[in-house]
Amino acid sequence: MKHIDEPQDSLYALDVEAKLSCGRREEKDSEYRRRILTTARNLFRTHEIDTVTMHQIAKEAGVGQGTLYRRYAHIGEVCSDLLRSTTSQFIASLEAKIADTTPEGTALSQMSEAIIMIIDFIDDKASLLSAINLIYTDKERFYLHKKPIYVRLHNLLAPLVELAVNQGEIEQIDVTLTVNTILGSLMPEQYLYHREVLGYTKEQFISGICRLFVKGI
- What are the pLDDT digits (tens) for 105-145? 688 999 999 999 999 999 988 878 777 766 655 555 544 44
53 and 111 both lie in a single domain: no
210 and 143 both lie in a single domain: yes
The rounded distance, in Å, linking the Cα atoms of 115 and 152 is 14
Most confident of 50-54, 92-96, 204-208: 204-208
53 and 83 both lie in a single domain: no
**Residue at a domain's end among 32, 53, 72:** 72
Residue 74: Cβ within 10 Å count: 11
Predicted TM-score (pTM) above 0.85: no
For residues 203 and 156, the answer to whether their CB atoms sit within 8 Å is no
The rounded distance, in Å, linking the Cα atoms of 163 and 155 is 13
**pLDDT at position 19:** 52
Residue 173 contacts by C-beta under 8 Å, 6 or more apart in sequence? 161, 165, 217
The rounded distance, in Å, linking the Cα atoms of 26 and 28 is 5
98 and 167 both lie in a single domain: yes
Range of the domain at 173: 74-217
Query: What is the tens place of the pLDDT at every residue in 83-112?
Result: 887 888 888 899 888 887 665 668 899 999
Buried b (16+ CB within 10 A) or exposed e, 24-60: eeeeeeeebbebbbebbeebbeeeebeebebeebbeb
User: Mean pLDDT of all residues in the chain?
Assistant: 81
79 and 138 both lie in a single domain: yes
Residue 190: give its domain's CATH number. 1.10.357.10
By CB atoms closer than 10 A (0-12, 13-18, 19+), residue 4 is exposed
Report the number of distinct structural domains present in the chain.
Answer: 2
For residues 82 and 131, the answer to whether their CB atoms sit within 8 Å is no
